[in-house]
Chains A and B, each alone.
Chain A
Amino acid sequence: SAVISQKPSRDICQRGTSLTIQCQVDSQVTMMFWYRQQPGQSLTLIATANQGSEATYESGFVIDKFPISRPNLTFSTLTVSNMSPEDSSIYLCSVQDRGIYNEQFFGPGTRLTVL
């Protein structure tokens, strides 16, 4: 399976600022995704990061709040903009290769605390 790294692993940020999270994969993958796990909650898909085009956002998530880039098949970034304490979560990227039916592999996550 692909090896996925995320930077930063954790951060504490002030309200109103923005943080960009990086996701790097050691091989080219077709699909990359961004998830959020709020405290005590399940993992929720934010968006699909599409290479060379705009990300596809799930209901309840918008590009202005969570801009995403995917310049190539091994790298993506998620920005959490204009943060509030409600954005305190673990943010995870995942990848899926079309040859492996529905099985996604996750990065270690970025633990974000907003004060």
Chain B
Amino acid sequence: DQQVKQNSPSLSVQEGRISILNCDYTNSMFDYFLWYKKYPAEGPTFLISISSIKDKNEDGRFTVFLNKSAKHLSLHIVPSQPGDSAVYFCAASAGAGSYQLTFGKGTKLSVIP
């Protein structure tokens, strides 16, 4: 049973527009969420994270929103750039200092020039 779900395998967005990637989770114990970006032939790179005590975290063009009641988080990229084209993984962990990350299957974002 998948505890972290990314229901959209792919997403295409025009350059300059907003990209919204979604992630749902089922485990109520998750209290820390991360987004990773992965280019082909490279390992995932950490992008942004959010603790369950917050509902929003922003870092430049990237913002993550957390809706605990809906067990839903989203990553917004504004404005989208062609270099953002990659696979984005949502991950979650439970408990302070927990090393165990549960990943979604990823969403492939294509930003069209």
Q: Which residues does A use to contact B, with CB under 8 Å?
A: 1, 4, 9, 31, 33, 40-45, 48, 92, 94, 96, 98, 101-109, 111
Interface pair B99/A104, CB less than 8 Å apart: yes
Interface pair B34/A109, CB less than 8 Å apart: no
Interface pair A102/B97, CB less than 8 Å apart: yes
Chain B contacts for A1, CB-based, 8 A: 46
Interface pair B44/A42, CB less than 8 Å apart: no
Chain B contacts for A40, CB-based, 8 A: 105
Chain B contacts for A45, CB-based, 8 A: 100-101
Chain B contacts for A105, CB-based, 8 A: 45-46
Interface pair B34/A42, CB less than 8 Å apart: no
Q: Min CB distance, B97 to chain A, in Å? A: 7
Residue B42, interface by CB 8 Å: yes
Give Cα A102–Cα B104 distance, bound, in whole angstroms: 16
Give Cα A21–Cα B49 distance, bound, in whole angstroms: 29
Interface pair B42/A102, CB less than 8 Å apart: no
Interface pair A102/B43, CB less than 8 Å apart: no
Interface pair B105/A101, CB less than 8 Å apart: no
Residue among A4, A42, A98, A101 with most chain B CB within 10 A: A42
Chain B contacts for A94, CB-based, 8 A: 43
Interface pair A108/B43, CB less than 8 Å apart: yes
A-B contact pairs, 26 of them (CB 8 A): A1-B46, A4-B43, A31-B99, A33-B99, A40-B105, A41-B105, A42-B4, A42-B104, A43-B44, A43-B101, A43-B103, A44-B103, A45-B101, A92-B44, A96-B99, A98-B97, A101-B49, A101-B96, A102-B99, A106-B36, A106-B43, A106-B44, A106-B45, A107-B43, A108-B42, A109-B42
